[in-house]
């Protein structure tokens, strides 16, 4: 085998053979295939796609690059959730402890930011002392004692995906459906969870812009999971507007704690409870009420134990950006649009995301929303607040916000898109 032949096959719209797929994944993991060569192949896959046979083999090769975990020793059934990424998508933070409070074990392997979307690990690392990297023994111990763990996939779990995940982020190939499906499902299948709920975002702020692409991705992942013995279901959820009122690492942690305390934005609460019900049903837990566990403080108790078990201080003050800039409403009326992608790009440019895989992120950077579509606004009132430690970034962030919102005359009818648009099982 040689990598040039593999690249040319996909460049010329050919089907990669099982042998080609097995070889290129293994060779890339071992460093025989260079980043620039895998970048070329990833771009060819983005442009020309893969059929179901290729995707299944690619996923199997990713799994075979490392170890597989097993949670049979736990007394609880396991349920996991994965989001394809959005703007302001902090759902994992309240969801994992909520589902654990209802009786399931939640082994939540999460990732870092990709492009304009935030990463769960980046958010949680804004909590002083919190550790994303756990050994398999530490992960199992936290899961056993608290009911939930949110951490990075270990080096032994689908190591091919760890390399490719970071590469896709900086080469414009994040949106490739075969690579998204295989990346997510290789980790989740290798992780060993008994059931999985997929939150597939659709809209301007998602990688899947159309409902058709979201269905294709969801159906592909549900099939991969089901064929591997993992009970898998997917919800297609709206990402045309940011979730909640914040986009940025520490900002989103603060909002998540508000949700766990029984408050928080209604859309975040609604989606958290909807996903919790799907996870509990998939795990075979029928008599728990996640809304009650959110209201009575039991989910907050699990959150505090989970954060502390990973070295974090749940009572510590979260980082705050040194500089702020307020964007005001240009006129009075009804806010009819607030584009998720533009908000995500602004947060990224302010320092909440990374341009290269080696880049650090600013914990306090991001965008705070003071209104959502459907709200009445008056000229001059705060619409957005930008947060960053580096004020020279404001101008660059403001460029992405120039056409990110619309204010219609007072009395204009507004119809909100449902948060959960479809269910695929």
**Candidates 161, 169, 238, 342; catalytic one:** 161
| Spatial CA neighbour of 372 closest among 191, 273, 174, 240 | 240
Phi-psi region of 332 (alpha: psi -120 to 50; beta: other; left: phi over 0): beta
Nearest-5° Cα angle at 249, 244 to 255? 35
Calculate the dihedral angle through the C-alpha atoms of 285, 291, 292, 297, rounding to the nearest 10 degrees.
Answer: 110
Element (H, E) at 87: none
116 is catalytic: no
**Candidates 57, 81, 82, 116; catalytic one:** 82
Cα–Cα distance for residue pair 332/334, rounded to 1 Å? 7
Contact 16, 148 (CB under 8 A): no
187 is catalytic: yes
Q: What's the Rg (C-alpha) of the chain?
A: 21
325 is catalytic: no
356 is catalytic: no
- Other beta carbons within 10 Å of 396: 13
- Other beta carbons within 10 Å of 257: 21
- Other beta carbons within 10 Å of 348: 27
- The burial of 49, by beta-carbon neighbours within 10 Å (0-12 exposed, 13-18 middle, 19 or more buried), is given as middle
Cα–Cα distance for residue pair 109/189, rounded to 1 Å? 11
**Candidates 57, 116, 162, 168; catalytic one:** 168
Distances (CA, A) of 234 to 75, 197, 247, 325, 385: 26, 6, 24, 38, 34
183 is catalytic: yes
**Candidates 123, 187, 188, 305; catalytic one:** 187
Contact 202, 210 (CB under 8 A): yes
In 31-118, which residue ranges form alpha helices assigned H by DSSP?
A: 35-48, 52-64, 92-101
**Candidates 83, 183, 186, 256; catalytic one:** 183
Phi and psi at 373, nearest 5°, equal: -55, 135
Buried b (16+ CB within 10 A) or exposed e, 272-306: bbbbbbbbbbbbebeebebeebbeeebbbbbbbbb
| Spatial CA neighbour of 384 closest among 398, 363, 364, 399 | 398
Q: Which residues are catalytic?
A: 82, 161, 168, 183, 187
């Amino acid at each position: 085998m040689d990598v040039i032949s593999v690249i040319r096959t996909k460049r010329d719209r050919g089907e990669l053979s099982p042998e080609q797929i097995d070889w290129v994944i293994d060779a890339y993991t071992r460093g025989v295939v260079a980043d620039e060569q895998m970048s070329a192949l990833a771009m060819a896959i983005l442009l020309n796609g893969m059929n179901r046979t290729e995707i299944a083999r690619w996923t199997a090769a990713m799994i075979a690059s490392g170890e597989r975990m097993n949670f049979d020793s736990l007394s609880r059934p396991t349920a996991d959730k994965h989001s394809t990424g959005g703007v302001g998508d902090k759902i994992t933070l309240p969801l994992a402890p909520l589902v654990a409070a209802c009786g399931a074990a939640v082994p939540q392997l999460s990732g870092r930011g990709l492009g304009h979307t935030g990463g769960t690990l980046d958010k949680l690392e804004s909590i002083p002392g919190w550790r994303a990297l756990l050994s398999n023994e530490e992960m199992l111990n936290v899961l056993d004692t608290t009911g939930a763990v949110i951490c990075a996939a270990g080096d032994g779990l689908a190591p091919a995906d760890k390399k490719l995940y970071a590469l896709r982020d900086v080469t414009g190939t994040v949106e490739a459906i075969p690579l998204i499906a295989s990346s997510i499902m290789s980790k989740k299948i290798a992780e060993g969870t008994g059931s999985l709920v997929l939150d597939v975002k659709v809209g301007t702020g998602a990688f899947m812009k159309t409902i058709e692409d979201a269905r294709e991705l969801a159906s592909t992942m549900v099939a991969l999971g089901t064929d591997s013995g993992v009970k898998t279901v997917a919800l297609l959820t709206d990402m045309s507007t940011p979730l909640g009122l914040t986009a940025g690492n520490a900002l989103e942690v603060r909002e998540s704690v508000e949700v766990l305390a029984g408050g928080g934005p209604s859309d975040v609460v609604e989606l958290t409870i909807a996903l919790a019900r799907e996870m509990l049903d998939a795990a075979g837990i029928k008599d728990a009420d996640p809304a009650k566990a959110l209201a009575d403080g039991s989910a907050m108790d699990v959150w505090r134990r989970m954060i502390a078990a990973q070295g974090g201080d749940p009572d510590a003050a979260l980082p705050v950006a040194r500089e702020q800039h307020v964007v005001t409403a240009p006129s009075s009326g009804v806010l009819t649009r607030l584009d998720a992608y533009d908000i995500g790009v602004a947060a990224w440019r302010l320092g909440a995301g990374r341009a290269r895989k080696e880049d650090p992120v600013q914990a306090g950077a991001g965008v705070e929303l003071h209104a959502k579509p459907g709200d009445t606004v008056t000229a001059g009132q705060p619409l957005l607040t930008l947060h960053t430690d580096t004020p020279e970034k404001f101008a660059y962030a403001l460029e992405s916000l120039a056409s990110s919102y619309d204010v219609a005359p007072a009395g204009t009818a507004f119809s909100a898109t449902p948060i959960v648009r479809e269910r695929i099982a």
